Chain A
Amino acid sequence: EDKVVQSPLSLVVHEGDTVTLNCSYEVTNFRSLLWYKQEKKAPTFLFMLTSSGIEKKSGRLSSILDKKELSSILNITATQTGDSAIYLCAGLRQGGSEKLVFGKGTKLTVNP
């Protein structure tokens, strides 16, 4: 059975801290790993990682995939209160029944 596990499930930090969110996956016919940020409503796309070892960056956020370890990390540097959200990781299974398998998410709270 496909599964994606995120850790920690929740995290509370102060503004300016750096955080690392973890995601491990066991997905049949794995194709890509995707990160989403969910604030109050709809998840919004952050990154899609397909190749191992290549870091993707967007401002203070960065992410990298390790296919050997079946894992990915999402780093956020110099956190701000606006980074408070649930961060979702999803593994994409390719093939006849292509599906995204989501983890339970990491709830990040950034206090001023």
Chain B
Amino acid sequence: NAGVTQTPKFQVLKTGQSMTLQCAQDMNHEYMSWYRQDPGMGLRLIHYSVGAGITDQGEVPNGYNVSRSTTEDFPLRLLSAAPSQTSVYFCASSYTDLNTEAFFGQGTRLTVV
């Protein structure tokens, strides 16, 4: 049972570098989302998608891009990494909407130096 798979688990970037955090789910879930978790801040929504081809901004979208070309994949792109983007990133998915259990990936710990 793969569930929600995030890669990589750890990443160190230099300021200004770009990278893509990968998220894939094999549960045929329509709803997918990206959160960042910082100490003392809880989980904050970055971007979300209600289905293939549809994305929208969350609470803290600046500096991040997303796309949803397939139901399974929802990559998060950092265009020009900044130290303020040092965080743990979680991808989550749920069946049709959020009024069901959301399944989280194991997280990506990103450090920007």
Candidates A42, A44, A98; contact of B97 at CB < 8 Å: A98
Cβ of B12 under 8 Å from chain A: no
**A34 contact set on B, CB distance < 8 A:** 102
Cβ of A76 under 8 Å from chain B: no
With A92-B99, A98-B97 known as contacts, the answer to whether A42 contacts B90 (CB < 8 A) is yes
Tell me if A104 and B40 are in contact (CB < 8 A): yes
Tell me if A43 and B43 are in contact (CB < 8 A): yes
Q: Shortest beta-carbon distance, B98 to chain A, in Å? A: 5
Within 8 A of B (CB), among A27-81: 31-32, 34, 41-45, 48, 50
Cα distance, A67 to B99, chains bound together (Å): 17
Tell me if B56 and A97 are in contact (CB < 8 A): yes
Cα distance, A104 to B104, chains bound together (Å): 17
Tell me if B99 and A102 are in contact (CB < 8 A): no
With A32-B99, A43-B90 known as contacts, the answer to whether A100 contacts B104 (CB < 8 A) is no
Cα distance, A57 to B41, chains bound together (Å): 28
Candidates B35, B42, B101; contact of A103 at CB < 8 Å: B42
Chain B positions 97 through 110: 1 when the CB is less than 8 Å from some CB of chain A, otherwise 0: 11111111111000
Tell me if A100 and B42 are in contact (CB < 8 A): no
Tell me if A104 and B42 are in contact (CB < 8 A): yes
Cβ of A21 under 8 Å from chain B: no
Tell me if A102 and B102 are in contact (CB < 8 A): no
Cβ of B44 under 8 Å from chain A: yes
Which chain A residues have a beta carbon within 8 Å of chain B's beta carbons? 4, 9, 31-32, 34, 41-45, 48, 50, 88, 90, 92, 94, 97-105
**A-B contact list, 11 entries, CB within 8 Å:** A31-B99, A32-B99, A44-B104, A45-B103, A48-B99, A50-B99, A88-B42, A90-B43, A97-B56, A99-B48, A102-B42
